[in-house]
Amino acid sequence: MLIAAREIDGFFVESDHVESAEISILGSARETLRLGKDLSNVELRVVNLAGKAIGSYYIGRVGLQSTVEDKECAGQARFVVTFYGHACPYAAAATIWRRWASRSPLVKGEWMGYPVESHASWLHVVQNSWFETGHAAKRYGAGGIGVLDGRRILGESSFYCELGESINGLGGYFGSTLDGLADCLASSRIAGAPLGLVWEHSSASQERMGAALAVSAINVLREFGVDVTLR
């Protein structure tokens, strides 16, 4: 580990600002760093308060430009680096990662407490953490019936957030696109146990997420043998 970071500014950005740029990192160096030297095969890892990795980003080549001691944080420095690859186009992900890294357990439907435009960032964290923590794209829930609460579905991203929780529990992932949903369903076939899905408050939620997407999602679910009930 080169730098233990407390904050990182400039990496999580709006989707139209993903070109390589200078990133500011507040933290402490774990080994001697040479200014002006490019580092290769760099990975950014997100860890919780227990020190366990819960997310990761492969960055690739990074240039260390400058460093200055932070007067407000003893033993900390502000490192300015250039990420030559793209930044992460989910602006709210930094805030959401901090929430996931805290000691407080997640709450069902917690993404509802964020603005609608941040739900894609929540889904991004769900997916990233799911695979970082050793899960595969499949069904892990033991229950035979999943329940979608349509009141929590305000768009495409929150549909997949709600679907992931209904099938795989808090922080659960079950696709972030139609192709991802199909992958999860295909991988879950070998489990053998049939899956039913009850979609409550379906009409209003389908209108919010888009009728075409709703129909496509239902068709994919039924194609893989899921008994979908609309209420």
Reported as a single tens digit per residue, the pLDDT across 210-228 is 999 999 999 999 999 999 9
pLDDT category at 127 given cuts 50, 70, 90 is very high
Backbone angles phi, psi at 119, to 5 degrees: -65, -30
By mean pLDDT, which of 4-18, 69-83, 139-153, 176-190 is the weakest? 69-83
The pLDDT score that the predictor gives to residue 142 is 64
Task: Share the mean pLDDT of the chain.
Answer: 90
What percent of the chain is predicted at pLDDT more than 70? 93
The pLDDT score that the predictor gives to residue 1 is 65
The pLDDT score that the predictor gives to residue 12 is 93
Using one digit for the tens of pLDDT, what is the confidence trace for 102-111?
A: 989 999 999 9
